[in-house]
Amino acid sequence: MDLSLAEKYNLPVPRYTSYPTVPFWKEGLDTDAWRANVAEGLGASKGISLYIHLPFCESLCIYCGCNKKITTNHKVEEEYIDAVLAEWAQYLDLSGKVPVIRELHLGGGTPTFFSPDNLERLINGILSRAVVHPDHSFSLEGHPNNTTRAHLDRLYGLGFRRISFGVQDLNREVQERIHRLQPFENLVRANGDARCAGFDAVNFDLIYGLPLQTLQRLAHTIEWSVALSPDRLALYSYAHTPWLNCSQRLIDEKELPTPADKLALYEQGTHWLEALGYTNIGMDHFAKASDALFLAWKAGRLHRNFMGYTTQATGMLLGLGVSAISDTGTAFAQNDKALEGYYRSVRAKSSAVRKGYFLSEGDRVFRRHILDMACKGRTVFDPAWAAVYEEWTIPILRGMETDGLITLSDNEVCLTEKGRPFLRHACKAFDLHLLYDEKFRGILACGKAAQYGKTFSNAI
């Protein structure tokens, strides 16, 4: 990669699992309108997606920015499952329709913190009032240290076929710095158990940019991970945001790779994965040619939502549990991030939603552009929005075209091979909320905010 381009585009850009992104959502969402929105989507014939957030972990991984609750008290499992099932019942009671579940994912936290019995009770409780689509996809995140064969056998019997193991890094020195001691033999055991239990898809999540990480150590992690032949790997960038995630304050910033070193980790990590037979299909994700995600990417059927890339393009993703996010296609909502607040709402039989967003017509148009770029690497302009493109989007795309990152015509923009590392930046060209926010901050001091506020209001 051209170092000058890397420096030019070395700016924070969202992962675009939603548009508008969460920072632009509003507190105090109209829960009656939200529930009506959900009720309308629950009976979709092509099915819905379910995300269930299971927040508990036995130990703190200090790099992690996820919503989690650290405890070794497994008595919390029962109360939490009761709450999730009660929230599910609230949604089902909004409509007389029986939902068709096409996609179900257990995220965390650490889903395998829960016992096999309790996971079975949770899934059976969900499925007892639903129909499972014939072409369904059930998956979960697992920790190699505590995922047992009993977990895997039980979940396989419930329809799960994909598991993602959080590997992050396989070097002891790095693991000590991030408080995630995870011997390689545990990953070998968990991976083997998943295959023996019948799981036909095993994914590994890796992170680059961690403290004490070097090219040699990343090469070790990738080499040893690929030796276990995962179907898919994710190579995520570590986001050091100690002002948002208090645990990251325990990381010595002097031990983090420099921006140049982090860029080298990304470049070499990508090169090694591709050389070892994995195709870069989009933001951070690499897949074998036999993997369902690769096949969907090749066929132009790839979809992206809060669970990341997926092969299931359902019209609604319903999130259950503390901090869980839902997407009906025309609205977003996020549950209370505090466990006690979530419990209080469910016990009171009231909505656990705390913030969200109803999409305007313009939001839906630009959301489609971002999804098309993220999943297909191209998007077609809508002539009705030509003036908006010209003011907000085209100036950015022209700059990227000059750098050889995209090709631009009157009606279409396409990502080039050179531009693939800058996919998020191409998506950002269609992020009117973020572009306006950046421009507004820049012009606030010179008193022109009202002028741009009117322009932006007209745009969306």
E strand residue ranges, 35-189: 48-54, 56-57, 69-70, 100-108, 131-142, 160-168
| Nearest by Cα to 161 from 81, 87, 103, 86 | 103
- Average pLDDT in the chain: 92
Annotated binding site: 51, 57, 61, 63-65, 108-110, 141, 168, 180, 205, 239, 325
Identify which of 356, 337, 317, 341 has the alpha carbon closest to the alpha carbon of residue 31: 356
Q: What is the pTM of this model?
A: 0.91
Residue 441, pLDDT score: 64
Write down the H helix ranges in 136-258: 149-157, 172-177, 184-197, 215-226
CATH topology of domain 3-327: pyruvate-formate lyase- activating enzyme (3.80.30)
C-alpha angle 184/186/189, rounded to 5°? 115
Using a pLDDT cut of 90, give the percent of the chain over it: 78
pLDDT in tens, 334-381: 999 999 999 999 999 999 999 999 999 999 999 999 999 999 999 999
- Asked whether the CA dihedral 108, 113, 119, 125 is positive or negative, the reply is negative
- Give the CA angle between residues 278, 284, 288 to the nearest 5°: 20
CA–CA distance, 158 with 257 (Å, rounded to integer): 43
Bridge-based pairing state of the strands 131-142 and 100-108: parallel
Phi, psi at 38, each rounded to 5° = -65, -45
d(CA 366, CA 364): 6
Which residues contribute to the annotated binding site for S-adenosyl-L-methionine?
51, 63-65, 108-110, 141, 168, 180, 205, 239, 325
Give the pLDDT of residue 444: 40
pLDDT at position 312 = 81
3 state SS of 106: strand
Q: How far apart are CA 202 and CA 199, in angstroms?
A: 7
Q: Residue 273 belongs to what H/E stretch?
A: helix 259-275
Q: In terms of residues, how long is the chain?
A: 460
- What's the burial of 441, exposed, middle or buried (CB within 10 Å: 0-12/13-18/19+)? exposed
Residue extents of the structural domains in the chain: 3-327, 361-459
Secondary-structure class of domain 361-459 per CATH: mainly alpha
Give 182's contacts (C-beta < 8 A, 6+ positions apart).
143, 144, 145, 167, 168, 170, 175
Q: How far is CA 159 from CA 84, 204, 283, in A?
A: 20, 20, 28
What integer is the mean pLDDT of 255-274?
Answer: 92
Query: Which residue positions form the known binding site for [4Fe-4S] cluster?
Result: 57, 61, 64
Contacts of 154 (CB under 8 A, 6+ apart): 116, 117, 119, 120
For the segment 152-195, what is each residue's pLDDT rounded down to a tens digit?
999 999 999 999 999 999 999 999 999 999 999 999 999 999 99
pLDDT at 459 over 70: no
